[in-house]
Amino acid sequence: MDVITKYLNNIAYKFPKGYPDMDDPKDKAMLFEIIEQQMSLFSDDELDAITIKVKKETGVNLEKVSSDVRQDILDIVGDDAKLSDDDLEKVKSYIGGIKYKKEIIDYISSKGAGASAVSTPIFDKMVETGEVVKYADYLKNMYNFSSLGNSGNYFSKFGMFSKDLIFFILSQTPSVRRIGTGKGEILMQVMLGDVKDATSGGDIDVDGKEVEVKGKGAIPMGQKAEFSENTIIKIYDEIEEEINNILNDDITLRIKGTRPFNRFGVVFDQIKETQPNALKNYISALNSSLRRNYKGVDFSSFNIASYVKGGEFDWIGLELDIAKRIIELYTQLEGFEEVVFLDGVNGNYTIIPTNELVSKAGKEIEIKFADGMPRWTYKF
């Protein structure tokens, strides 16, 4: 344990909150008194030199603390030859933790309920990585959302901070009122000055503009959908009940190891092999069930017969088409203007306007069903 940590841990119990709150006059007076009690070990010259160095490296003016400097402070500051750059960053961070804690936590909390829920852990991580003062300085001249451009990498964009800190913030996904916060939303709120939690459509609010943030395998639909992951089970039940009434041998769509729409293709092939005259009934049952269960989706131009070509059923084309129609509904219901796709591991991101999402689905944006809902992932 370094000297600073040891010293702060030794005196923390003296304060009601477990740390010296510099906005509390009593805590402030007590901290200065503790320091003053042990500041009789140095000459005036040593005191002057240490005061200058501490102010230069940490921004804290020890002249406001009367009397001499104690041995612990000399140990903390030390000679240049004894303190590495990392050591000095820790000095700044721990002292800055006293000076900037309220400012930083209040700022992060102002971004919304999700950010507020993780404001203290984020601050503690800044202390751990020695970046409290650096972040306090960053607050004076922050990046805005527009500075991200169309694509890039979070670790590079915020390269003035350690990868450890950025990854920690990137990974924060607090749940507020049973609604989860997606990966990356908190990072943009903490690191971009004009970003806060959205209050209507979208995941984040960018100076009044609603923006969605989506990681790998996210569902392109919000809380307003009238269908869910379990919708596919209802579709299976309806099709099986209808088609098995006319088949000689019952079929099941509950086939292990295949995607939902692939199962439609597998059963098509089974019926074609054993009772081809029932294919029209099967396609009709599938068509009716899709329309009935994906409420709100625009099926006005939908023709399921177009997916049957040369005796084969194009389930991949059907899957992509239904997914695109769900994306269209998603954009209408939520009203966001852009989507930030990100890779939560390597930090890559790209930003796509809402009106380009459907055209990019199946190309730059990989999309497929895992259950009753599609999942999309940007191909970085």
**Would 147 be classed as within a structural domain?**
no
Domain that holds residue 56: 3-83
Q: Find the helix packing angle between 279-293 and 231-243, rounded to 10°.
A: 150
Q: Is residue 268 part of a domain?
A: yes
Q: What is the DSSP string of 20-64?
A: --TTSHHHHHHHHHHHHHT--SS-HHHHHHHHHHHHHHHS--GGG
β-bridge pairing 338-342 and 209-214? parallel
Domain membership of residue 59 (yes or no) is yes
In a domain, 72, yes or no: yes
The tens digit of pLDDT for each residue in 15-53 reads 777 666 767 777 777 776 666 554 454 456 655 665 555
Task: Write down the pLDDT at residue 45.
Answer: 62
Nearest to 294 by CA among 321, 315, 267, 255: 321
pLDDT on residue 84: 65
β-strands 312-313, 308-309: how paired? antiparallel
Here the tokens at position 21 are 């709150």
Q: What is the pLDDT of residue 128?
A: 87
Q: What pLDDT sits at residue 70?
A: 42
Mapped onto helix, strand or coil, the DSSP state of residue 273 is helix
| 65 in a structural domain | yes
Is residue 235 located within the same domain as residue 379?
Answer: yes
- Residues 162 and 129: beta-carbon distance below 8 Å: yes
pTM: 0.75
Q: Is the residue at 154 inside a domain? A: no
Indicate whether 189 belongs to any domain. Answer: no
Helix (DSSP H) and strand (DSSP E) numbers for the chain: 16, 12
Helix axes 119-129, 163-170, angle to 10 degrees: 170
> Interior CA angle at 57 toward 156 and 83, to 5°?
90
Domain boundary among 42, 63, 83: 83
**Looking at the structure, do residues 221 and 79 belong to the same domain, yes or no?**
no
Instruction: Check: CB of residue 208 under 8 Å from CB of residue 224.
Output: no
**Minimal CA–CA distance to 54: which of 72, 73, 71?**
73
CA max distance for the chain: 103
Residue with tokens 């009122």: 177
Domain count, the chain: 2
C-alpha span between 31 and 17 (Å, rounded) = 13
Distance CA(151)–CA(169), nearest Å, equals 19
Please state, in angstroms and rounded to a whole number, the distance separating the CA atoms of residues 279 and 239.
Answer: 12
Residue 198 lies in a domain: no
**Structure confidence at residue 89 (pLDDT):** 64
Query: Which of 57, 83, 109 marks a domain boundary?
Result: 83
List, for residues 197-244, the tens digit of each pLDDT value. 987 777 999 999 999 999 999 999 877 889 999 999 999 999 999 999
Dihedral pair phi/psi, residue 146, rounded to 5°: -60, -25
At which of 44, 64, 83 does a domain end? 83
- Measuring CA to CA, which residue among 174, 201, 183, 158 is closest to residue 115? 174
Rounded Cα distance between 235 and 253, Å, is 9
Distances (CA, A) of 89 to 79, 81, 86, 174, 339: 15, 15, 5, 29, 37
Residue-by-residue DSSP string for 206-257: ETTEEEEEE-TTB-S--TT-S--TTHHHHHHHHHHHHHTTT-SS---S--TT
Residues 6+ apart with CB under 8 A from 164: 125, 129
Assigned token pair, 24: 């509390």
- Residues (pLDDT < 70) of the chain are 1-12, 18-20, 22, 32-96, 178
The pLDDT of residue 66 is: 38
